[in-house]
Structure 1
């Protein structure tokens, strides 16, 4: 694997692993191969593997624990959300208070929809998808 364009190597590895997870090759609840095996399989170094796994954890695809292989998180059914004309979507990580209040697991982002007429809707990114 080599860097192409503006995309860093870790992001390309994260894309590859994300595709393997979403296609079912790494099923929910299964363990990913250990970091050294991932590095060897994809011809990248340890730091690249760690950064890719950190990205997938932030996106909610995997759970990581020190000293244990990464585990694929169950992907719940996602509710489609369609943006109306003039609405703006922003993704961000929750504050500690929001994470506690909304019971958001580590690594899961929030989606904020700013409505054209004012108002804000906040949704968990692991429970919603943006439709067409």
Structure 2
């Protein structure tokens, strides 16, 4: 449940509850999430708080939002593992529209930029990659 007196913001609390339902399989890939009206009523939150929680889950690549139909659980794709070698670095940022199209990245999903020690650069959609050493 949501605790307005907790140290954690209510937006984060709602995102955590929904994230847990997604990761547990209670909300399966492709499932429609409860609507804004239902969540505001069920948890006693403002519409803005619900929208912010959904936006947070969208940026994490867990949900996609269709303005006319609602929010859906994203289907998980197998994660590729990118191995970092000595001298390699990685950073995250939002993609340009061209990069988003080329990578097939969802709205709000960041990209990981791998800078190799040899000067080359690789770009990955952050929801489809793991970085390891």
Normalization by structure 2: what TM-score? 0.81
Give a deviation string over 1:7-59, Cα, whole Å, max 9, x none: 53323322322222122111001110111222333342211110111121222
How many residues in Structure 1 have an aligned counterpart in Structure 2? Answer: 131
**Partners of 1:3 and 1:9 within 8 A in 2:** no
- Is 1:59 aligned to 2:60, yes or no? yes
Query: Any stretches of 5+ residues in structure 2 without a counterpart?
Result: none
| Cα RMSD for the two superposed structures | 2.2
Q: For the structure 1 residues 36 and 101, does the alpha-carbon distance in structure 2 shift closer, same or farther, using more than 3 Å as the test?
A: same
TM-score (norm 1): 0.82
The residue number in structure 2 matching 1:93 is: 94
Structure 1 gaps of 5+ residues are: none
Question: Any conservation in 1 of the 2:19–2:57 contact (CA below 8 Å)?
Answer: yes
1:115 aligns with 2:116: yes
Structure 1 segments (4+ residues) deviating >4 Å: none
